[in-house]
Every structure is written in structure tokens, then in C-alpha cells.
Amino acid sequence: MTDKARVAVLGASGYAGAELLRLLAAHPLFEVAAVTASSQEGKAVGELYPSLAAAYPALVYGPAGTAVADGADVVFCALPHGASQKLVPELLGKVPHVIDLGADFRLRDAALYPAWYGEEHSCPGLLQESVFGLPELSRDGLAGARLVAVPGCYVTAAALALAPLVKAGAIEPHGVVVDATSGVSGAGAKVSSRYQFCTVDEDFAAYGLLTHRHTPEMEQAIGAQVIFTPHLAPMNRGILATCYARPVAGSEEPLEVLGKAYAGEPFVIVSEGSPSTKAALGSNVAHLTARRDARTGWAVSICALDNLVKGAAGQALQCANAVMGWAETTGLPLAGVAP
């Protein structure tokens, strides 16, 4: 067997970064060479995340920046918005491949960044080069890509549920409603009173009304005008996206469209059963169903997934496998955790 490819993870102290380390520990072709975390520099990974102590007994968080990337074959960026665009131009001069889990390179139109993120993009020339990292919908271009932008968890769920229906002409591409719910880990590991136990427990709330920054990314991935309302649920993990659209007269049943679109895709299950977040827990699998309601004239399409796996770290690793020319399933869990 050849030597493993070397990996560096920038921002490995957050939930997505830690989940990526968990998945990389079981990957047969990657080895973690270095990790960074500006707030945890010098601390052992196993001290911050005891769940990773056995897998990484000697791994220590290094300083923020690009120096640790020297000699790496792939660099994963699991950083807050705005941080990647400051580092990626330099990284692309050091390493063959960068996989960004943040939003810095997802949008094709640079003008959308000040409108939705409140600041100009610092390297807009790279937006056209980056490959949108949702393999089931945009696999072309991943093989050998220098820069991959992994979509957000809400966007992944909504796009998997809706993009094939838009492409097939089965639903109208305007006035689409995405009503989606996330577990608390979707907000990241930052300390905030909004996400403390006493705040989120026994509560269910909508937020980001009409202004959530993932809206333009969602519209780009789906190919339709969307009104998106996210909700926070008192659970650790999971995304459930319930999406509504007007079906096109005479079009194929939406469940059949999804079944054909994802036939042979190992990480997508399409069935008549109603998806649940727990079915996806710990796996890189998305569960979907769809219906057309003759009574009201609406179609509904639903997707459930684990926001930290298929919605973040697992999808990043799936993209990295494709970039390296390996089977996308390499090192990724197909089975969820139950009970």
C-alpha cells in the first residue's frame, strides 16, 4: 500500500472540525498531519475532545495561519466566515487541494457577499474557480479540483430535496418555500446565551426571518426563487427540511423524479417513508421523500440528514475523496447510530 495522503485541518476546534477529525481517524487513505485552532493553541486535541483522545493521543493544536499546511496534500478549512478568503490564496500556492467548509467561496456572484454577509469579498477571482461541493448535484469538476466550497447543512438538505424537481421541470421555479429545522450544533461551538441549555431546552423557535445568509446559496444550488425560514430545535444534531412548491401540470410525480435522480447514489435514500433526523444520525446519508397533493395543488419534498456529517464534515470528506480520484464512499459511514 502506498503512503497515505497528508491532511491539515484549519479550525479543528469547532464542531465541524472535530467531526472531520472523527471521520478522518477511520479513513484508510488520509492521515492527519496538523491541526490549528487560534483559541486552543498548544492544547491537546484529546483534552478538548476526549472522544478523540484514543484516535489522536499526541495531536496538538497549532497556531492559526498557513504554516502548518506545508507538505500537506489536502487542507480542510473549518473556519468562521471571512477567515478562509484571507488564507486560501496563500494556501493554493502551498498545497494541491483546499476544501473549504465555510461560505467564503460558495457564491458565484461576488456582489452577493456585501448584500448578505455585510462585506466585500477579498478575492472574488477565485469564486469562479471554486467547485460547489455537493457531489450528487455537481460532481463534474471535483476530480483534481484545487478549491472546493462545501455547501452549508441547510442548503444541502434543501437542494437535495428540490434541485432535481426544478431540473426535471416538475415544479415551478418561483415561490418555493423551505421550512427547515436544525439541531443546536448547527450554530457551532461558540459560547452564547442563546444556545445555552436553559435557553434551547423545551423550546422551538424560528430565526433569521427573510434574511438568513444561506438564502442566496440555496437559490443558486436549487435554481429557483426561495423563501427560507430556519428553526432551532432542542436536539444536538440533525436537519429536517420540509419544502413546498407548485407542481407543473402534467409533470412526473415528485417521488419518482427523486428516485430517478438519485438512483445509484450511495449517500441518498429515497423512499415513501417520512424522513427523520435520527435515521441519519452519525452517517453521511440523506433521507428523502416527496408527494404531490391534488387537493391543495402543492408538492412537498422532505430531506433529513446529520448536519455535522452530510451537512458539513462528511460531505467535505466525500468531496476530498472525489478530488483525489478515490471512491466517494471511502472512509465514510453509511450506517447511522441507533438507538
Q: Which residues are catalytic?
A: 153
Residue 278: Cβ within 10 Å count:
16
Which stretch of DSSP H or E encloses residue 131? Answer: strand 131-132
The set of residues, in sequence order, having a beta carbon less than 8 Å from that of 134 and lying 6+ positions away, is 150, 151, 155, 156, 159, 160, 221, 315
Closest CA to 245 of 208, 297, 303, 181: 297
Q: How far apart are CA 336 and CA 144, in angstroms?
A: 30
Kindly state the cell numbers that stand for 228: 427560507
Edge-to-edge strands, sheet with 5-10: 61-62, 30-36, 5-10, 74-77, 97-100, 147-149, 131-132
In this structure, which amino acid lies at residue 138? Answer: S
Residue whose grid cell is 422551538? 204
232 within 8 A of 196, measured Cβ to Cβ: no
- Assign 331 to helix, strand or coil: coil
Closest CA to 238 of 332, 133, 151, 310: 310
* Exposure of 71 in the CB half-sphere (CA atoms within 13 A): 8
Helix ranges restricted to H, 168-304: 197-200, 215-222, 254-261, 277-280
Q: What are phi and psi of 76, to 5 degrees?
A: -100, 130
- 182-209 as b/e, with b when 16 or more CB fall inside 10 Å? bbbbbbeeeeeeebeeeebeeeeeeeee
Q: How far apart are CA 82 and CA 117, in angstroms?
A: 9
The DSSP code for 74 is: E
